[in-house]
A and B are shown apart, each in its own frame.
Chain A
Amino acid sequence: MELRKDYFADVRKDGLHEIGQPRPRLDSPGHVTGKTAYFADRNFPGMLHLKMVRSPHHHARIRSIDTSEAEKHPGVVRVLTARDVPHNVYTILILIQIGPEDETVLADGKVRWKGEAVVAVLAETERAAQEAAAKVKVDYEVLPAVFDMEEAVKPGAPLVNEYHGQNYYLYDSGECRKVRFGDVEAGFAQADHILEQSYQSSPIEHAPTETTGCVVAPEGNDRFTCYTNTQAMFFTLDNTSIILQMPGSKLHFVGGTVGGGFGGKVDVIVEPIAILGAKLTGRPVSFVYSREEEMQISSPRAAEKVVIKDGVMRDGRIVARKVTGYTDAGAYSRHSPYGAQKGAAHYPGPYTIPNVWIDTYCVYTNRTPSSAMRGFGVTIGDFALEVQMDKLARLIGMDPLEFRFVNAYRDGDMKAHRQPTEGAALIECMQEASRAANWPVAEKYMAMSSYRKGA
């Protein structure tokens, strides 16, 4: 590794003792000896196994649920349906006042995506739970489903989620998150060229090697210890407290050791129902996703569609940018309203553009609910933006790296969402990239600075 200390040398206090020095990871000794305790490494006598009965339909009304055969299956201890859950309708971000509550812990009257949890079976063995789950009879009336975001927002599309009332998230700003900066139409009128392009992505599964799950032990004093691989300990604790109508003091969460997360373990899915099972049976409960469930049931990164219209001058300056972004939340919000909102702030990219118009929609479809994954809300946007930047450079016959120097944001520049730029380092990164990749740019760009006036 090479530390280039010449960048920012005049504005940096050079008291670095740790940066650039190798340091052992504190958790590595446990990993190499096999002693690190993941949640599934906890085993308790008499532990029950929880398996879910899941919807085979993308969208259906539930006419009836018959659990009688499942309850008679040898080894079954308890079968749970929606009416066993004290506060069955929830949404994760209610903790930061982002509602409405729109998702059921166990389906109540309706399923909105293929794979949705309907009935939970608790049995002495995994096998007995699996066999009994297959004996639960659910009578469905299949409803028309919608899978495409642009179809979903058209009038007359099947309504995915009644808690919203329309197939998009209603922000306080209306049907989408909006950024308005300068006069975008005047910018387009002034531009030498206009380029409008559309970019799309599919859902992406995190595929952690350790599947989602938890092990719950009743402590005998009305308190429950939950060993979990959640990436969001306190969100999970607080949401569990709401769902089970149980004070947080009764819940002891043990975690922080995650066998790969990548954002895929920030939803509150397995813990509330496992703790409820432990409470109602008085026995330890293990609820672990199979590999198939991890791939099909756990939230993926949202599918996105990004439409970018740019106005650019022959000298390289982008003078107007209009972006319409669509985030496919699937059937429920989870973290997607937040992801779509992040996109709104992000779409100008690390570039200074005087006229900007952005609308980002969080759309509901009958697809697997999506949620967090590594930079969600901006990652697909960055793919779209940087491909667009290359296309714009080609359009005006400019070197793509030089084109980015022309538009790079610098300290003091006002961003479209009205945060002044501070601590920018894009120019310096590109200068070093130009050297490292042997992609030379004109000397005037190598003399630029993110922070020095006049440079």
Chain B
Amino acid sequence: MAKVPVEFTLNGLETAEFVESGTTLLNALRDKIGDTSPKGGCHQGTCGACSVIIDGELRLSCLTLAETCGGADIKTTAGLAEGGVLHPLQRAFLDAFATQCGFCTPGMIMAAKVLLDRTPNPSREDVVEALSGNICRCTGYEPIIQAVLTAARANSQNAA
């Protein structure tokens, strides 16, 4: 089958890969490029474990074709820590006991990042709404919500 060249920016680095037409961004990232931080839980857009940020928008990489991502700016949880320093969201998830099995965590953090980028001081309802597409089967939702609210407070204190 003919392969399609794709070029995009992944966590600030220029990335190029040949993929078979029809390959999802999730599989391209995980199997070709080696960024395994997005997870495949359902491959049908219902669990949110594969969530990434494309040009500032939250996207399900299992429902996004890699070949449609030419020139895009893609961010994943693997690229969130800068210079070895955890992002406030990562710090908050760590401190708030907001991970259990960890499988949903990268997707949750992506969803939370898009929220905080747009709404620096979200209400609890904003957080619940923003995470509503991400399933935590360990059902640790409350610590996750608290972690996002804590990260938002940390951000606004740093900005002040």
- A contacts, CB < 8 Å to B: 22, 24-25, 27-38, 40-41, 43, 206-211, 258-262, 290-291
Contacts and interface: CB of A to CB of B under 8 A. Distances in A.
Contacts of A259: 39, 41, 101-103
Contacts of A37: 36
B154 interface: no
B103 to A, nearest CB: 3
B93 A32 contact: yes
A147 to B, nearest CB: 28
B101 A291 contact: no
B153 interface: no
Contacts of A35: 37, 78
16 contacts: A24-B94, A28-B97, A33-B78, A34-B35, A34-B77, A35-B78, A41-B30, A43-B34, A208-B103, A208-B137, A209-B39, A209-B103, A209-B104, A209-B135, A259-B41, A260-B137
Contact of A25 (B49, B80, B97): B97
A260 B99 contact: no
A210 B30 contact: no
Given A28-B93, A34-B105, A291-B43, 12 more contacts: A24-B94, A32-B105, A33-B78, A33-B86, A34-B36, A208-B101, A208-B137, A209-B41, A209-B136, A258-B101, A260-B101, A260-B138
Given A24-B94, A32-B93, A291-B43, A210 B78 contact: no
A142 B68 CA distance: 47
B94 A211 contact: no
Interface size class of B (residues with CB under 8 A): 35 or more
B101 A33 contact: no
A210 B101 contact: yes
A53 B90 CA distance: 42
Contact of A209 (B49, B86, B89): B49
A31 B31 contact: no
A262 B138 CA distance: 9
Contacts, number: 97
B10 to A, nearest CB: 13
Interface in B108-123: 109
Contacts of B101: 208-210, 258-261
A230 B71 CA distance: 40
A141 B109 CA distance: 52
A22 B95 CA distance: 9
Contact of A38 (B31, B93, B103, B136): B103
A30 B43 contact: no
Given A210-B103, A258-B101, A29 B94 contact: yes
B86 A32 contact: yes
A453 to B, nearest CB: 41
Contacts of B104: 209
Contact of A28 (B31, B94, B136): B94
A258 B101 CA distance: 6
Contacts of B4: none
A90 to B, nearest CB: 28
Contacts of A41: 30, 36
Contacts of B105: 31-32, 34
A128 to B, nearest CB: 10
B61 interface: no
Given A43-B30, A291-B42, A31 B102 contact: yes
With a 10 A CB-CB cut-off, give which of A22, A34, A206 has the most chain B CB atoms. Answer: A34
B99 A32 contact: yes
A209 B109 CA distance: 16
Contacts of B99: 25, 27-28, 31-32
A35 B81 CA distance: 12
B138 to A, nearest CB: 6
A57 to B, nearest CB: 26
A172 B86 CA distance: 58
B39 A33 contact: no
